[in-house]
Amino acid sequence: MQVVGSNTNSTLELVTNGERLYTAPNLPASTYRLVFAKQGFASVTREPIEVRPRGSVRVDTMLQPGAVSESINVSAEAPVLDTAAINNSAGFQQDMIQQLPVIVVGTKRDVTGFLNNLPGTTNANTFTPSVNGAPLGKAETFLDGAPASQRIMVGAFSENGPMMEQVGEVSIVANAFNAEYGGFGSWFSNVTIRSGTNSLHGSVFDHLGNDKLNARSFFQPRRTPYRQNEGGFTLGGALVIPGVYNGKDKTFFFGNLGVFYSRYGASGNIITIPTQQFLQGDFSGLTNAAGQIPIFDPLTSTADGNGSIVRQQFPGNIIPQSRITAIGRTVGQFMPAPTLPGIVNNFNSKAATNWPFYNT
């Protein structure tokens, strides 16, 4: 018999064993045409046979005596069931992936967002997805059959996932499932990358996000500034090197280039960030409307006998370098100022003793 790819015409030749059974392992997820033939019998063609990611399909047929030239085509049948698996699986393919909306703000589009369209989803968050109430992180994402979730949050696919235009199929497998899924969690995502075909095909895409197209929430005085573009191109086909190699029906390629660009303004919160002088312990310029805000030396704290604590201000409002830990000096030297929002607001006469970079 032959297993022929419907889109590629690539052919796999198989022979049944003594029990008249055949097995075609490790087929890429795609649609196939099966051709059964034997000397003295009319050949039988079964199509389309859809093979889903990490699934098994059983196809039985019966040959009738006849001439070799006779052929029977069987098509437009009910979908072939995966009777070899016990998985509770749901998913959709490329056409639906392109049609379903995915709303994102500040992050690239991610197939995890499609969980909202599948039964059993309890959390479709891009970074912490969950199905059937499973604890966060008790999952795995398979990309073309290999575990591929990010290590920060197992089961998420936001950082290392493919561009949407690369994806050929997405499916979710939940309890119960085959032993092949054991050791990872209680539900799994299967993502299959598109493949090339005999026909050269490609696309150019751009996903636009802009506050000019967004609505203002009821409590916001104005819309939050938002500029986002996620664009690129895809290209696939048969590998052909003129005069050297013709890969039609044999060798195929598919690839894409994606670029993600996003600028997202703050929602209106006002914060104070430290200057480089503050990070180095120089608070001589720390002032408010009433004048300089003093920074007190916690080692000079003494009781005045009336239940109050008296402390002395650092000379010049500058913390000596000897009183700053090595970690604090490193942070002040190498860390950009905006990475420590709000630290200035903590420097008042009562909070200074809690500053983490003191040597006390």
Q: How far, in Å, CA of 325 to CA of 66, rounded?
A: 91
Same domain? For 115 and 183 the reply is yes
In a domain, 271, yes or no: no
Among residues 166, 193, 220, the one where a domain terminates is 193
Least confident of 82-86, 224-228, 256-260, 332-336: 82-86
In a domain, 80, yes or no: no
pLDDT at 345: 35
In a domain, 270, yes or no: no
Among residues 24, 47, 74, the one where a domain terminates is 74
Is the model's pLDDT at 191 over the cut of 80?
A: yes
Q: How far, in Å, CA of 130 to CA of 123, rounded?
A: 5
Q: How far, in Å, CA of 93 to CA of 164, rounded?
A: 12
Same domain? For 234 and 287 the reply is no
Is the model's pLDDT at 153 over the cut of 80?
A: no
CB-based contacts of 60: which residues, under 8 Å, 6+ apart? none
Q: Is the dihedral of CA 324, 328, 332, 333 positive or negative?
A: positive
pLDDT at 347: 34
CATH, residue 152 = 2.170.130.10
> By the 8 A CB rule, do 347 and 277 touch?
no
Is the model's pLDDT at 44 over the cut of 90?
A: no
Same domain? For 65 and 111 the reply is no
Domain boundaries, position 206: 201-264
In a domain, 215, yes or no: yes
CATH, residue 23 = 2.60.40
> By the 8 A CB rule, do 1 and 16 touch?
yes
Work out how many domains the chain is built from and give that number: 4
Is the model's pLDDT at 183 over the cut of 90?
A: no
Same domain? For 18 and 41 the reply is yes
Running DSSP on this structure, what letter comes out for residue 224?
Answer: P
pLDDT at 318: 93
Same domain? For 130 and 171 the reply is yes
CA proximity to 31, closest of 113, 96, 107, 93: 93
Strand partners, 89: 173
In a domain, 82, yes or no: no
**Percentage of residues in the chain having pLDDT higher than 70:** 76
3-state DSSP assignment of residue 330? helix
Q: How far, in Å, CA of 9 to CA of 33, rounded?
A: 9
Say what the pTM is. 0.59
Running DSSP on this structure, what letter comes out for residue 332?
Answer: H
Same domain? For 187 and 217 the reply is no
In a domain, 216, yes or no: yes
In a domain, 185, yes or no: yes
pLDDT at 71: 66
pLDDT higher for 175 or 279? 279
**Percentage of residues in the chain having pLDDT higher than 90:** 9
pLDDT in tens, 121-139: 887 776 778 888 877 777 7
pLDDT higher for 98 or 241? 241
pLDDT at 335: 53
Same domain? For 325 and 238 the reply is no
pLDDT at 315: 92
Q: How far is CA 73 from CA 14, 206, 264, in A?
A: 19, 42, 57
Same domain? For 145 and 229 the reply is no
Sorting pLDDT into bands at 50, 70 and 90, what band is 253? very high
pLDDT in tens, 60-95: 888 888 765 666 776 655 555 555 454 556 667 777
pLDDT at 237: 92
Same domain? For 125 and 185 the reply is yes
Same domain? For 176 and 223 the reply is no
Same domain? For 206 and 184 the reply is no
Same domain? For 29 and 47 the reply is yes
DSSP strand E in 144-251: where? 146-147, 167-174, 187-193, 201-210, 226-238, 240-241, 245-246
In a domain, 318, yes or no: yes
> What tokens were used for 47?
């199509």
Among residues 264, 292, 308, the one where a domain terminates is 264
Q: How far is CA 335 from CA 83, 275, 276, in A?
A: 58, 11, 9
Sorting pLDDT into bands at 50, 70 and 90, what band is 209? confident
Q: How far, in Å, CA of 226 to CA of 265, rounded?
A: 6
